[in-house]
Amino acid sequence: MEGVRILDKDKKFMQRALNLAEKARGMTSPNPMVGAVIVKNGKVISEDYHKKAGEPHAEALAILKSGEKAKGSTLYVTLEPCCHLDKKTPPCTRAIINSGIKKVFIAMKDPNPKVSGKGIEELRKHEIEVVSGIFEDKAKKLNEAYIKYITTRTPFVTLKTAMTLDGKIATPEGQSKWITGEKARRIVHRMRSSVDAILTAVGTVKADNPELTVRMGQGSKVKGQGIKNPKRIVIDPNLEIPLDYKIFNVPPETIVVTKMGQGSRGKGQELIDKGVKIIEYDDERVDLKWLMKRLGETGITSVMIEGGSSLNAYALQDGIVDKVVFFIAPRIIGGKDSIPAIGGKTFRRLENAFRVSDTKIKRVGDDLMVEGYLNLSA
């Protein structure tokens, strides 16, 4: 944006576009969340947002609403308009050019190699003024999962855990319900609705027999959209989870990650007959980086880990975690045999500890919510 003066009104309209995009959180995968606002003579004449993959994009929807009024207007859009034909919907650059829009403010370039910079270039070729970079950081955070997936073809991974002040997630006997309060649990359900899949392990499922679904109350909506349940991925090396457990009998889809050969006989075949998908690995322990690549190949763009002490440790050890969200309850369990949030047989010295950056702390009822991003190179 060097040399371009950004006015307060431009920031206001771009923030409005970002707020629109946010309404579709969890609903657009593998596409990004995008909002668009069309302004003429200082007034909004139309606005919309992308609601679901395969459906019209935000710019196209806003242009359709504005009709002839779009001529000579300004468009505020949270992501660089697409310009390629390799998708179900027409290129948005073509719609913008044909509409008569004269100026376009873009929050961020599209990291998709098929678009990156090309959409902006096409608009400028048709004498449309383009300003890019307004609220870029906000736009990138909004679509952090999309950015990770489109550039690496692996999902964005969030490690979520709830623990006491002394870092425990359960008593020695495994008692863990409920460490945090209802407000924190409601946030967790919203988090579930925003991701493509939840990753857990056999121990957690056997202990709690959870559904791992989104429960927000009858008729509830998340960010203006209907509730979406993520896929469930369970690491169960020896297929120990009973067939009558909820994850095998309650929608949505469940994927079981197990040792090689388990899926082709006995219980494995029974699971397949129930509609469960099987991913097999050929090693003593599943390599979580390998698993993330496999999940990315199936179109899963975001994963939230809801596991126990061991899975949390392996996820950090294998370097798959992008973001952490810790809910801390004002309780103290104590005891050296109580289960810590991060277990494992190894540890890092203080100078080599995993570093969390861009941390934010929020009070949620009586609990604290701490979130940040992992610097795995530290």
Which positions are catalytic? 59
Host H or E run for residue 141:
helix 136-142
The answer for residues whose C-beta is within 8 angstroms of residue 141's C-beta and 6 or more apart is none
Q: Cα(280)–Cα(232) distance, rounded to whole angstroms?
A: 16
CB 135 within 8 A of CB 107: yes
| Bridge-based pairing state of the strands 302-305 and 156-164 | parallel
Q: How far apart are CA 361 and CA 16, in angstroms?
A: 25
**In Å, what is the CA distance from 308 to each residue of 114, 163, 188, 193?**
39, 11, 16, 20
Rounded CA separation 303/318 (Å): 15
Compute the distance between CA of residue 198 and CA of residue 130 in angstroms, rounded to an integer.
Answer: 39
Map tokens 């003066």 to a residue. Answer: 5
Residue 55 in tokens: 């459906």
d(CA 80, CA 109): 5
CB 303, CB 232: distance < 8 Å: no
Nearest-angstrom CA–CA distance, 245 and 359: 37
Closest CA to 192 of 150, 164, 232: 232
Residue 117 Rama label (left phi>0; alpha psi -120 to 50; beta): left
Q: Cα dihedral sign for 25, 26, 27, 29?
A: positive
Tally Cβ neighbours within 10 Å of residue 116.
14
